[in-house]
Amino acid sequence: MLERSTQKTETLAQQHEFIQGTKYYWKLPVTDLAHARQCGLAHNLGYPIAQILCRRGYDTSEKINSFLFTTYEKDVPHAGTLKDIEIAVERINRAINRKEKILIFGDYDVDGITSSSIMLSSLIPLGANINYFLPNRKRDGYGLSSKAVKKAHASNYALIITVDNGITAYKAANDAYKLGIDLIITDHHRPHGTLPKAIAIINPQQADCPYSFKSLAGVGVAFKLVSLLYEKRGIKKLPEKTYELLMLGTVADVVPLVGENRFWVRHGLNLVNQNRSYAMQTLVQNSGLEKQLLDSLDIGFMIAPQLNALGRLDDARDGVRFLISSNQDDVAHVGAVLKNMNEERKKIERSIYAQIEQAIINRTIDLDGENVIIASNDNWPAGVIGLVAGKLMHNYGKPTLIFHIDAHGTAKGSCRSIPEFDIFNALEQNKDLLLNFGGHTCAAGLSLDAKNLPLLKKNLEEQVKASVSPLDLQPKATIDAELELPEINYKLMDDIARLEPFGNSNPAPLFLIRNVTLQQGATLLKERHVRCSVFSQGIIKPVIFFNRPDLLPIFDQIGDQSFNLLAQVMKNEWQGVTRIDLQGLDISL
């Protein structure tokens, strides 16, 4: 029998039913199924897809059409509505015309690398006297620094343009002003109470910025700047590479794939699937993908991590050279480095995760008694801990902060939080304990004196307890639609494809498949994954559960008892053969 609970929490946006799985609480949004069927008929969509749209809030013809058919005219606001962008364009034009030296100051993640690449590949053809710098994570830390500003002054730079950083660079901005360097900040992170001193700050997150779409990645903000620059110069087309870079950075930074972001990612994927740059060809080859058509999940999970590995473990500047170079030999050389660095990053990530899991098993970290997971170590590279924090948050359902302790006793951390708990606001309430912090609602970075970690943990525990319910702190999965095995066919796959690109705010759909039985014994693959086959209504389907070895003993005891399956439906291409697979997430008995 399927266990149901009518528990509700004030922090949930709408009523849900809750189903207890073996690992996750399954959230089933209460939906008018008759209305969903009508929506499906009206838009020539299968019933499961209509359920997905209605459960995600697209429950009228206007909303459905707006989501399915993003257009430039409807979904892309004019760049000129960004606060300060006209000032920035005028200053860049003046610098180009006077041959003044321009420095692009980026960040070491994929968003920062692609943002820097867009600025370079767009400004160089205009004759700009331009160079770029991306800080080394270990040596330089995050963001524009006074040291970098002073070096720029010594090298006679007249203009610094930040991309994907700068909104909290108060001291560096003051130093630039004193030294006579004009500063343009382009960023997308949430501003603090005050803003740095700059001739222009382009960031849609500013409270008084009239730009209607607030969820651009850093690369999106950089793109809007060069778009208006080209428009003002009467140039109708940006370099073709720009759209590949925009797509790559937007997907990698996990911003919501709705509205304008959805339009540009679709556009970029279409271009990449018609004509890939040397860099993209190399990244695809490195990842072992054999698909003819890439999708956003391929970019997010297979392509982008290779570039991220450079900034996490080495020098991100190689990433810019890799992305904008037209020399195949140079691209191939850096591509080989990327592949090796990414493999090394995976090993380090698995090691850190295993150490924290062992602490959970030993109850050094008490999941039953604590609302927040906090762990620290002086051997954990700062560039990898954010990935570990994200995985822990997903698997255990609690806000997670992981820290690297440096030789000076400074704790540098990455946070990942559940949707119900705004980690940025929480850190702002603890800013007296922090040396610096920045980020978004569900992800942030921070640093503080390591001796203040216990007090930070105490404060966060109290904040979480006061603002969210115990159910919010359970690992959860949201059901998008109910499905029967006979409905899994290529028509369903075509309908699912209409919902792409998938990512933040538009995840690949999770289906509830009721009352299936085990067709054959489950097997363990690589000591981590479980494979089995399920049967219902005369149909047999194979299922694989990644990283769920805990399911093996459950399947060994399940016999012919029926159970309920939570799974994604995936198209799998291998050696020229295409098949439809079920990727299981959880079961409920």
Please give the angle made by the CA atoms of 7, 10 and 14, to the nearest 5 degrees: 75
- Angle between helices 241-252 and 317-324 in degrees, nearest 10: 140
Task: Supply the mean pLDDT for the chain.
Answer: 93
Please write the tens of the pLDDT for every residue from 514-541.
999 999 889 999 989 999 999 999 999 9
Q: What is the pLDDT of residue 1?
A: 26
Cβ atoms of 32 and 23 closer than 8 Å: no
Q: What distance lies between CA 396 and its chain's CA centroid?
A: 19
Q: What is the pLDDT of residue 300?
A: 95
Q: Is 62 exposed, middle or buried (0-12, 13-18, 19+ CB in 10 A)?
A: exposed
Average pLDDT of the segment spanning 544-553 = 95
What CA–CA distance (Å, rounded) separates 411 from 416?
16
In this structure, the strands spanning 373-377 and 4-5 are unpaired
Strand locations in 101-228, DSSP E? 101-105, 129-133, 159-163, 182-186, 200-202
- Specify the 3-state DSSP secondary structure of 534: strand
Strand locations in 173-271, DSSP E? 182-186, 200-202
**Comparing 445 with 14, which gets the higher pLDDT?**
445
Please write the tens of the pLDDT for every residue from 274-288.
999 999 999 999 999
Using the predicted structure, report yes or no on whether residue 442 has a pLDDT greater than 50: yes
Please write the tens of the pLDDT for every residue from 356-407.
999 999 999 999 899 999 999 999 998 899 999 999 999 999 999 999 999 9
Contacts for 50 with CB less than 8 Å, ≥ 6 apart: 36, 37, 39, 40, 43
Sign of CA dihedral 457, 463, 469, 472: negative
- Tell me the CA distances in angstroms from 78 to 73, 96, 242, one per residue in order: 9, 23, 17
Using the predicted structure, report yes or no on whether residue 7 has a pLDDT greater than 80: no
Per-residue confidence band for 137, with pLDDT thresholds at 50, 70 and 90: confident
Q: What is the pLDDT of residue 164?
A: 96
Per-residue confidence band for 8, with pLDDT thresholds at 50, 70 and 90: very low
- Tell me the CA distances in angstroms from 546 to 485, 526, 532, 554, one per residue in order: 20, 10, 12, 15
Q: Which of 150, 165, 84 is nearest to 119 (CA)?
A: 165
Q: What is the pLDDT of residue 102?
A: 98
| Phi, psi angle pair for 34, to nearest 5° | -65, -40
DSSP string, 327-355: -HHHHHHHHHHHHHHHHHHHHHHHHHHHH
Q: What 8-state DSSP symbol labels residue 468?
A: S
Q: Describe the strand order of the beta sheet including 182-186 as a list of residue ranges.
A: 129-133, 101-105, 159-163, 182-186, 200-202
> What would the two tokens of residue 411 be?
């704790």
What CA–CA distance (Å, rounded) separates 87 from 108?
27
What CA–CA distance (Å, rounded) separates 315 from 307?
10
Average pLDDT of the segment spanning 55-79 = 94
> What would the two tokens of residue 587 be?
């079961």
Q: What is the pLDDT of residue 578?
A: 80
> What would the two tokens of residue 261 be?
């972001």
Contacts for 178 with CB less than 8 Å, ≥ 6 apart: none
What CA–CA distance (Å, rounded) separates 342 from 339?
5
Residue at 303: amino acid letter? I
Could you count the other beta carbons within 10 Å of the beta carbon of residue 395?
16
- Tell me the CA distances in angstroms from 12 to 15, 157, 547, one per residue in order: 7, 51, 28
Cβ atoms of 156 and 101 closer than 8 Å: yes
Q: Describe the strand order of the beta sheet including 476-478 as a list of residue ranges.
A: 4-5, 16-20, 25-29, 476-478
pTM metric for this prediction: 0.91
Bridge-partner residues for 26, per DSSP?
19, 477
* Poorest-pLDDT segment among 14-28, 66-80, 96-110, 480-494: 14-28
Neighbouring C-alpha atoms within 13 Å toward the C-beta of 190: 17
